[in-house]
Chains A and B, each alone.
Chain A
Amino acid sequence: GQQVMQIPQYQHVQEGEDFTTYCNSSTTLSNIQWYKQRPGGHPVFLIQLVKSGEVKKQKRLTFQFGEAKKNSSLHITATQTTDVGTYFCAKNTNAGKSTFGDGTTLTVKP
């Protein structure tokens, strides 16, 4: 079954609005990774978070790892049409297995 839950499943925003997707786990995570997949494309690695409470920024994207290391979020400030796609979080286990959430699909209306 699903071990990382993402919400919301879909998000439609007006260009310029902010967007946030959340990733939740019932167990403590050793790390969390975020990916973006454009329609018809393949997942592209964005970032990995490892430390409790870690916050990393990439231009308009802010990634956060919860203090308990059971949740993470991706926030996009002032969305643009180029931000359209599905955003996935994924966790890695010690066995080398990666478990992906089902993603949040973002659409942006110009």
Chain B
Amino acid sequence: DAGVTQSPTHLIKTRGQHVTLRCSPISGHKSVSWYQQVLGQGPQFIFQYYEKEERGRGNFPDRFSARQFPNYSSELNVNALLLGDSALYLCASSWATPLSGNTIYFGEGSWLTVV
């Protein structure tokens, strides 16, 4: 069975550009969350989607947006990229919302470098 898949795995963007990161959850999972992980720190929560609705939002600027599609895959969009947006972006899926105690599975992540 496929795990959580993310694309692209690595990408380099220029300041001011826009980026779209994609995530496919494990088959049957309805919840997708996005995290940003800067080197040496723990993952920082960006968004959670469940049943195609936003269920949680972290402390990130409006340049960050996301959506979940009918097939439960998700996209994270970041506009007007800054150097500080360089990080590992992780997608996590679970059958239900994390609060319900289901195991959460992270993808390999997308490494974004902004130059």
Contacts and interface: CB of A to CB of B under 8 A. Distances in A.
Interface residues of A, number: 24
Interface of B: 33, 35, 40-45, 48, 50, 55-58, 90, 97-99, 101, 103-109
22 contacts: A30-B99, A31-B101, A33-B104, A42-B107, A50-B101, A90-B43, A92-B98, A93-B56, A93-B99, A95-B55, A96-B56, A96-B97, A97-B48, A97-B56, A97-B57, A98-B35, A98-B45, A98-B48, A98-B98, A100-B42, A100-B43, A101-B42
A95 B45 CA distance: 12
Contacts of B56: 93, 95-97
Contacts of A90: 42-43
Contacts of A88: 42-43
A48 B101 contact: yes
B57 to A, nearest CB: 8
Nearest to B101: A48
Nearest to A105: B40
Nearest to A99: B45
Contacts of B98: 33, 92, 96, 98
A42 B41 contact: no
A85 interface: no
Interface of chain A, main secondary structure: loop
Contacts of A45: 103-106
Contacts of B107: 42
A48 B48 CA distance: 19
Nearest to B105: A45
A104 to B, nearest CB: 10
Given A50-B101, A97-B56, A42 B90 contact: yes
B42 A96 contact: no
Contacts of A98: 33, 35, 43, 45, 48, 98
A102 interface: yes
Most B-side CB within 10 Å, residue of A33, A92, A94: A92
